[in-house]
Amino acid sequence: MNDIIKLVHGDGGKHTHELIESIFYKHFRNDLLINGIDAATFTVKQGRMAFTTDSFVVKPLFFKGGDIGKLAVYGTVNDLAVSGAKPLYLSTAFIIEEGFPLESLKRIVVSIGNACMQTGVKVVTGDTKVVEKGRGDGIFINTSGVGIIEDDFSIRSIEEGDRIIVTGGIGEHGTAIALDRYDIKIKGNFESDCAPLNKIVMKLKRFYPSIKIMKDPTRGGLATALNEIASLSGLGVCVDEECVPLRKEVKAANELLGLDPLYMACEGRLILVVSKEAADSLLEEIIKIEGCEEAKIIGSFVKEPYNMVYMKTFLGGKRILNMLEGEMLPRIC
């Protein structure tokens, strides 16, 4: 029974310290993370910073193409990256259910450590709480993060004619989660697109004045993210269905599941709003980046209908894409 999490691991005493030493410090170790000190301190230069938070309750914890640990790092790294920031420091806070296998915790912590290494961020502060069996669901992870905005990216006013670029196939994370959760076996490669965006964003820096907004279409998928952008812009969005990158097998799986891939979460795609003039050369640059080969210009901003997103369908019709309204698939991140 030593191989599971117990309530004493959350009491802040000896067992909590041992857990932190043997698992968290082992994999997160860096010069800013000090046991027994609750806040990390570091030096910053004068400038703009970004700060973000996300809790992760994804089910299952391990899925094709990723796991909750990787997702928790990428999710926060990506939120910083799309704000134009270079992600620097993360916090990780665990709410663990009594009885959770230590082996699974270790696997998740290793995954967090690897994802940090890959993205160049450090876990500098953390917290561990334990709740009684039946009062949680395995493990929930919060990651918050801070970064510096080195190249002075800021959200700029969107104008009529501005283009929308998506960096790759949509709905792949949500689809992978759905198939894994319900244990549905279909032929084909259904991996989450779960990936960090910070290096992609860094490569696009020289286009900044032409890039007006960056966003990662997570919960609620492409359609919801476009609605959020539309309401910030005060304009309408027209999407061309033909241009939306959507893998055939992802489309087929969603038909089978009765779900709409336009509303399925991505965890490694970037939406960019760019000036009409820069769109083609930016796209050319983006498709050279590893993982962005399928990038497409999928639509543009229009005067009417105001604050709405619609799609020109394959058949030549128009479909209004509202913000996600019904119940799609809970706990995808």
Residue in the structure block whose two tokens are 């450090």: 122
Q: How far is the CB of 198 from a second copy (least distance, A)?
A: 12
The residue type of 247 is R
- With binding defined as CB under 8 A, does residue 258 bind a second copy? no
* Bridge partners of residue 128, in order along the sequence: 94
Q: How far is the CB of 215 from a second copy (least distance, A)?
A: 8
- With binding defined as CB under 8 A, does residue 275 bind a second copy? no
Residue 136 exposure: Cα atoms within 13 Å on the Cβ side: 21
> 292-320 as b/e, with b when 16 or more CB fall inside 10 Å?
bebbbbbbbbbeeeeebbbbbeeeeeeee
- With binding defined as CB under 8 A, does residue 40 bind a second copy? yes
Stretch that binds a second copy, among 23-31, 54-62, 164-172, 177-185 (CB under 8 A): 54-62
Distances (CA, A) of 102 to 61, 64, 123, 134, 168: 14, 21, 20, 17, 36
Q: Which of 17, 156, 181, 312 binds a second copy (CB under 8 A)?
A: 17
Binders of a second copy among 63-102, rule CB under 8 A? 79-80, 82-85, 89, 91-95
Stretch that binds a second copy, among 101-109, 110-118, 129-137, 240-248 (CB under 8 A): 129-137
Q: How far is the CB of 121 from a second copy (least distance, A)?
A: 12
Q: How far is the CB of 129 from a second copy (least distance, A)?
A: 5
Binders of a second copy among 210-239, rule CB under 8 A? 215-216, 218-220, 224, 228-229, 231-232
**78 or 275: CB nearest a second copy:** 78
Q: 122 and 32 in contact (C-beta within 8 Å)?
A: yes
**243 or 324: CB nearest a second copy:** 324
Distances (CA, A) of 266 to 5, 13, 154, 232: 32, 40, 23, 21
Q: How far is the CB of 281 from a second copy (least distance, A)?
A: 27
The residue type of 264 is M
Q: Which of 130, 239, 271, 298 binds a second copy (CB under 8 A)?
A: 130
Q: How far is the CB of 316 from a second copy (least distance, A)?
A: 28
Q: Which of 102, 110, 149, 252 binds a second copy (CB under 8 A)?
A: 149
- With binding defined as CB under 8 A, does residue 31 bind a second copy? no
Tokens of 279: 């769109």
What is the β-pairing status of strands 271-274 and 163-166?
Answer: antiparallel
Q: Which of 10, 66, 169, 245 binds a second copy (CB under 8 A)?
A: 10
Distances (CA, A) of 272 to 7, 111, 260: 45, 29, 22
Q: How far is the CB of 158 from a second copy (least distance, A)?
A: 13
Q: 3-class DSSP state for residue 213? A: strand
**123 or 283: CB nearest a second copy:** 123
* Bridge partners of residue 130, in order along the sequence: 96
